[in-house]
Amino acid sequence: MAPPNRVFRTFGHKFKTNGLGFRERHFTLKKPEKTFRILVFGDSITFGVAIGNEQRYTNLLENILNIKIKKRKNMTIDRLEVLNFGV
């Protein structure tokens, strides 16, 4: 975990840490209604060393799953969040 609310570089890619010190967007501890969360813990691959945020597998997974959710009519959730806690 890095210091919270800071800007860093990893192999030329700039990234920010949130208030908890993770390379993840800010989120509320209480999840929004009709939102499902997946928490991903891991090492430097999960963290995304040497790649931009949009290339991390957690960001890609979130985008793919949200596209699939929108196509299904009988879902009880509106949004899925994949939160990255890689270090």
Answering whether pTM is above 0.85, one says: yes
Three-class secondary structure assignment of the chain: CCCCCCEEEECCEEEECCCCCCCCCCCCCCCCCCEEEEEEEECHHHHCCCCCHHHCHHHHHHHHHHHHHHHCCCCCCCEEEEEEEEC
Q: pLDDT per residue over 16-41, tens digit each?
A: 999 999 999 999 999 999 999 999 99
Q: What is the pLDDT of residues 45-70, one digit of tens each?
A: 999 999 999 999 999 999 999 999 98
Report CA Rg, the chain: 14
Contact 79, 34 (CB under 8 A): yes
